[in-house]
Amino acid sequence: MIIIAAMMLCILANGFDIVKDNKALATIYVSSFDNNTPLANLTQVKFSKLSYDEQHALIFNFAIKDLIYHLEVMSKVTLPLKVVKDVLEIKPPAIVIGKLAQDLGGKLTKNSALRESFSLTVNKDFILIAGESPAGSAYGVYELLERLGCDWTMPGKAGEIIPELYNISIEKQYTEQSPSFEIRFPWYSGGPT
């Protein structure tokens, strides 16, 4: 037990602390380039009437809103969100999503037909979620939430699995993912518009 506890402390010491003792340590950063649809207007938009790029921007904004919500439910702490124009405005520890993550070195070597690939990099200063498009970055956000213990078994609050934690940390890691199929959910979407 002592050896396992020591190993866990080493992993967490080399990881990234998001919340510690119910205090936000990290800030979420997105680029004004990615975040061009105001979060407040999400429920007022008919998804099918949007262009493909507008749909990607909307998916991105849903993911940012979901990230803030899930971290708040987990820890009872709201992480600050900053929309910035340049990486020079980012101060670690930071969760950096989208184009800014690529500018900070978030690798992205895989491509997909609908630009939905992403990479997730965690080091001691940053969580970098770099997407091939805003929708790719959104899939990276949900990958991070899954790695923090979240799951969704069915629509609505009854289907949410969100652990309650006073401390939220994640170990150093790197993953890059690309969809296996050109259209992720053809039975829901009927294909791209």
Q: How many CB atoms lie within 10 A of CB 98?
A: 29
What does the block give as tokens for 51? 């262009």
Position 34 confidence tier, pLDDT thresholds 50, 70, 90: low
Q: Is residue 186's pLDDT more than 80?
A: no
Burial, 83: exposed, middle or buried (Cβ in 10 Å; 0-12, 13-18, 19+)? middle
Say what the alpha-carbon torsion angle 29, 31, 32, 33 is, to the nearest 10 degrees: -160
Tens-digit pLDDT profile for residues 14-25: 689 999 998 999
pLDDT of 48:
73
Q: Is residue 184's pLDDT more than 90?
A: no
Give whichever of 3-7, 53-57, 61-65, 113-117 has the largest mean pLDDT.
61-65
Q: Check residue 39 and report its DSSP letter.
A: G
Q: CA 30 → CA 13, 123, 130, 133, 143, distances in Å?
A: 26, 18, 11, 13, 17
In contact, 168 and 75? CB cutoff 8 Å: yes
Q: How far is it, in rounded angstroms, from Cα 64 to Cα 70?
A: 10
Which of 173, 33, 24 is closest to 103 using CA atoms? 33
Provide the whole-model pTM: 0.83
Q: Check residue 133 and report its DSSP letter.
A: S
